[in-house]
A = this chain, B = another copy of it.
Amino acid sequence: MNIKKDIKNLLVEKPLKLDCGKTISNFPLAYETYGSLNQKKDNAILIFHALTGDQFVTGINPITNKDGWWSYAVGPGKAIDTDKFFIICVNVIGGCMGSFGPSDLDQETQKIYGINFPVITINDMVNAQINLIDYFGIEKLFSVIGGSMGGMQVLQFVSNFPNRAKTAIPIACTSSHSAQNIALNELGRQAIASDSNWCDGDYIAKNSNPNKGLAVARMAAHITYLSKKGLQEKFGRKLQERDDLKFGFDADFQIESYLRYQGSVFVDRFDANSYLYITRAMDYFDLSRKFEGNLSKAFKDTKTKFFIISFTSDWLYPTQENKEIVIALNAIGADVGFVEIESDKGHDSFLLDVPEFLKALKNFLEKSY
């Protein structure tokens, strides 16, 4: 990994004190933009990506040569309209698409960080990204938007910078990572660490690659992104290019073949240590913790207009957890809208062609602009 071609970078000189206590400076922040910033600089939207996303939101991702991860939602005339808005998306720190991460060289030791990279948090991620907003000279973003871990960054951003976003759209997320979600992330981490090619995180220096463990982590996660009903309707017990069961361990069922494929393509674009670091950041996320468990206090004095979106079949970040954010905002009289979208596509709904969702997103943005 660590492919740097076609990647825009801002070198952040200003020191950033991380939650772990360490301070970093002169670190790269890889980003992409779409559309044009207007003269008033009031049409900028900062999109935050999820666990395995990156800055290439729409169009063709120059690294993978596949569609950007939010091509359904972002583009000319789409819900997040690049003809109207200036879109910024930053690869999170800890990531592997050009921002400061565990596959970078530690200038002090001249060794690749690996698991000597500092553990980062969602708070660290957004505190890094504000540098890019300052760099563009944007006083107030029109919106901050993200799904899943992107939604956590939305919440953290508004809490940290109450005057820097006019609107905020956290989608399919939570204000506090649940025990089940910590467990699922831990499963992924253990799958990676169990691969002997992980070499205690030192695989790059050892010219090794924990691809098998990373693929298993991805398969586990992928199951959680889909709903039971959606899987049943799409795959059921359909067989994979065969008329009958083969009584062996090859992929008899389409769902098996599909999962194996998801695992195998993922390892080509993602770094195992980044997977460890980013899942850790998600698990550490508990926005109310600094506010004596009172989530409302995280948004004290906010003037931001919120629009919160959940999906009926999302069992990873169910409606209930999204509603808790709505309740906390209502409790302080904040401007907050909420919609639960009917969808069988599970947590992945926010990434897919779910017309009711895309319409709601478009309507909110257009009416708020």
Contacts A177-B237, A247-B119, A259-B187: A182 and B216 contacting too (C-beta < 8 A)?
no
Which residues of the partner chain B approach A178 to less than 8 Å between Cβ atoms? 228, 231-232, 236
Contacts A115-B249, A237-B286, A253-B283: A259 and B186 contacting too (C-beta < 8 A)?
yes
A228 touches B180 (CB 8 A): yes
Q: How far is the CA of A141 from the CA of B256 in the complex (A)?
A: 38
> Contact mask A82-126 → B, CB, 8 Å, 1/0?
000000000000000000000000000000000100110000000
Which residues of the partner chain B approach A177 to less than 8 Å between Cβ atoms? 237
Smallest Cβ-Cβ distance to A214: which chain B residue: B194
Taking the full assembly, how many copies of this chain does it contain? Answer: 2
Whether A213 is near chain B, meaning CB under 8 Å from some CB there, is yes
B237 touches A182 (CB 8 A): yes
Smallest Cβ-Cβ distance to A185: which chain B residue: B256
Most chain B CB within 10 A, of A21, A179, A183, is at A179
A window 141-173: CB within 8 A of B: none
Whether A195 is near chain B, meaning CB under 8 Å from some CB there, is yes
A259 touches B220 (CB 8 A): no
Whether A360 is near chain B, meaning CB under 8 Å from some CB there, is no
Whether A280 is near chain B, meaning CB under 8 Å from some CB there, is yes
A194 touches B180 (CB 8 A): no
A190 touches B216 (CB 8 A): yes
Least distance between A34 CB and chain B CB atoms (Å): 34
Which residues of the partner chain B approach A310 to less than 8 Å between Cβ atoms? none
Least distance between A217 CB and chain B CB atoms (Å): 9
Whether A219 is near chain B, meaning CB under 8 Å from some CB there, is yes
B237 touches A176 (CB 8 A): yes
Q: How far is the CA of A235 from the CA of B248 in the complex (A)?
A: 39
A280 touches B232 (CB 8 A): no
Least distance between A298 CB and chain B CB atoms (Å): 16
Whether A345 is near chain B, meaning CB under 8 Å from some CB there, is no
A247 touches B19 (CB 8 A): yes
Q: Which single member of B20, B180, B236, B263 contacts A232 (CB below 8 Å)?
A: B180
Least distance between A214 CB and chain B CB atoms (Å): 10
Least distance between A239 CB and chain B CB atoms (Å): 11
A231 touches B180 (CB 8 A): yes
Q: How far is the CA of A187 from the CA of B226 in the complex (A)?
A: 14
Q: Which single member of B179, B226, B260 contacts A190 (CB below 8 Å)?
A: B260
Which residues of the partner chain B approach A212 to less than 8 Å between Cβ atoms? 194
A237 touches B190 (CB 8 A): no
Q: How far is the CA of A232 from the CA of B320 in the complex (A)?
A: 13
Whether A265 is near chain B, meaning CB under 8 Å from some CB there, is no
Instruction: Give 6 CB contacts A-B under 8 Å.
Output: A176-B237, A179-B232, A186-B256, A189-B249, A194-B194, A245-B284
